Structure 1
């Protein structure tokens, strides 16, 4: 079942349930991305913010806060913070990856330039820190500021690890925890903390966000080799062409013989790719069961997310979060 085939999408159920809160988040985002002196800032930001993303991360903050009984106003600030951090990282990522398309639209660095994307990303990080301070909760500030640092650390680690055949699954997991899962877990954990939740519930929501984020990234990496380009917005094999050592290839390299290692060294480490190399890479992934093994890893992490959320109090949102974990991996079933 693909995401488009799902009759009722859990993220849409969550969005409907949280519609009032998300409306307030969107209003706050638009207000805080304004600039009196630099009109390019709202231009660039609006291009990405209004591009039709699911707003999954800020929804997770609102969901965690409501699940833990929060009735104050500051979950809105935290959700907007999470979205600003996410948007800033996307702007920077597209520059680093020299991307030309994001969510089916030209990237900001293509429409404007790299300098604008980097500097507007910096501005959004600064706005995020202003927002996370406003609730006056040091623990929340610690969670979100640590997440921002962890994301940057994960991206830098990926620069050195992505084209090094010595990169193993533990390093891959460290990269994924940094660049993807850190913001998922910060979103859910901060929502619980602002609500003053019991420590066991805070930990459960952190574990849920962490596992969901890891499953989310593994699925993305798997779909690069076996996805529908119309559904994913990416061409099959983009990661291979960009020499990114993701989990399917890491698994195949671990089982490679001398001849296969020579192939991976040439195509990934040295970047000397020829016609037919992608097809050969796919044949090696199938030969060693790397795609099926990667799929199982994604399912296992989704199951961990469901296990974590099952320990939380009975609430309509609890089931939505559990369904969301299934939904994240539905694309690979």
Structure 2
């Protein structure tokens, strides 16, 4: 079941990340080669599990942010390739771990690694990829880059634990939830964008600009994902519409519908999320309540807000094809719900 999300604010129907893909194409080919090399191991299951997820069709947006944020300042060395690969390995590791924690069956339309090889293999291969990521960071030799990415790894783990602490608690506030997605999702976007100017040896203000851009882009990205789960199409999501509901996840559309609802409607949410009555038979009512209280449109309004902050973060930087491509990513992120 899907719901069309009206989004009058999004006038850019042609939003695309193609400019960024084109600009980073040569470097991304090198990143992909390094990914395949570093995912190798004499332990046969490790490359099997790693390549299952690595080859599953993700856009590789995070490593492209690292490449672009270095190149826009004229960087011509090799370190951004290793850092971009590190970022992708960190992301892949978190997906492997997330699917175990969330007990997910599908990832980008394919069976999750845990469904094929089991939870233990998924967690351990994720750990292997994190180890490889840190080895590459050390090879780069930048303590600042190592500090940014290692801090992000800690923050992501904290976000996972924080999500567990608020899981299935309908009293979770919007502020609580924003803290979760800031840690789980936005922190890696921010780190991916910040390490580029670090290796390019730019000023502190330029580094902070890219960090702010990445952080707010990441928040917008996750909020759009939240809306898509209740208002998208399975073919676009790579999973079933309403999976967040079936898994008992508390996301912003649910928080808004719960807090704005009547006592009877709040009782429905408590029963569905806290007591596990979240099957398909209740999904229709959940969608109706989310729409009744503008849960989707207001979630997108929040995403637009963070997208605007990301745009403002880049605004003072000199105009270039790289800057323009990064701006386009903001539009693309929001346009996924149009």
Range class of TM-score, shorter chain: over 0.9
1:297 aligns with 2:302: yes
Q: Deviations over 1:83-107 (max 9, x none)?
A: 0000111111111122222112111
SS in 2 for 1:68: coil
User: For structure 1, which segment, 173-182 or 286-295, has the greater mean C-alpha deviation from structure 2 after superposition?
Assistant: 286-295
Residue of structure 2 aligned with 1:237, choices 239, 242, 249: 242
> How far apart, CA to CA, are the structure 1 residues paired with 2:219 and 2:198?
22
Cα 1:123–1:280 shift into 2, 3 Å: same
In the alignment, is the contact (CA less than 8 A) between 2:246 and 2:279 conserved in 1?
no
1:173 aligns with 2:178: yes
Residue of structure 2 aligned with 1:31, choices 27, 37, 43: 37
Q: Deviations over 1:292-316 (max 9, x none)?
A: 2111111111111111112212210
> How far apart, CA to CA, are the structure 2 residues paired with 1:297 and 1:8?
21
> 1:187 matched to which residue of 2?
192
1:93 aligns with 2:83: no
User: For structure 1, which segment, 279-288 or 147-156, has the greater mean C-alpha deviation from structure 2 after superposition?
Assistant: 279-288
Q: Using the TM superposition, give the Cα deviation of residue 81 of structure 1 relative to its aligned residue in structure 2, in angstroms.
A: 0.4
Q: Using the TM superposition, give the Cα deviation of residue 208 of structure 1 relative to its aligned residue in structure 2, in angstroms.
A: 0.6
> 1:207 matched to which residue of 2?
212
TM-score, normalised relative to structure 1: 0.95
> 2:282 matched to which residue of 1?
277
Q: Using the TM superposition, give the Cα deviation of residue 13 of structure 1 relative to its aligned residue in structure 2, in angstroms.
A: 2.1
> 2:202 matched to which residue of 1?
197
> 1:102 matched to which residue of 2?
107
> How far apart, CA to CA, are the structure 1 residues paired with 2:140 and 2:235?
42
Over aligned residues, Cα RMSD in angstroms?
Answer: 1.7
Q: Using the TM superposition, give the Cα deviation of residue 176 of structure 1 relative to its aligned residue in structure 2, in angstroms.
A: 0.5
In the alignment, is the contact (CA less than 8 A) between 1:162 and 1:246 conserved in 2?
no
SS in 2 for 1:332: coil
> How far apart, CA to CA, are the structure 2 residues paired with 1:274 and 1:91?
25
> 1:116 matched to which residue of 2?
121
> How far apart, CA to CA, are the structure 1 residues paired with 2:303 and 2:98?
23
Higher relative contact order (CA 8 A, sep 6+): 2
1:16 aligns with 2:51: no
1:310 aligns with 2:304: no
Q: Deviations over 1:93-135 (max 9, x none)?
A: 1111222221121111111111111111110011111111111
Runs of 5+ consecutive residues of structure 2 not aligned to the other structure: 6-11
Q: Deviations over 1:203-254 (max 9, x none)?
A: 1100110011111100000011111122212222111111111001111122
Residue of structure 1 aligned with 2:149, choices 132, 137, 144: 144
TM-score, normalised relative to structure 2: 0.93
In the alignment, is the contact (CA less than 8 A) between 2:40 and 2:46 conserved in 1?
yes
> 2:8 matched to which residue of 1?
none
> How far apart, CA to CA, are the structure 2 residues paired with 1:317 and 1:274?
45
> How far apart, CA to CA, are the structure 2 residues paired with 1:172 and 1:309?
26
Q: Using the TM superposition, give the Cα deviation of residue 256 of structure 1 relative to its aligned residue in structure 2, in angstroms.
A: 2.3
Cα 1:311–1:116 shift into 2, 3 Å: same
User: For structure 1, which segment, 244-253 or 270-279, has the greater mean C-alpha deviation from structure 2 after superposition?
Assistant: 270-279
> How far apart, CA to CA, are the structure 2 residues paired with 1:148 and 1:102?
21
> 2:9 matched to which residue of 1?
none
Q: Using the TM superposition, give the Cα deviation of residue 136 of structure 1 relative to its aligned residue in structure 2, in angstroms.
A: 1.1
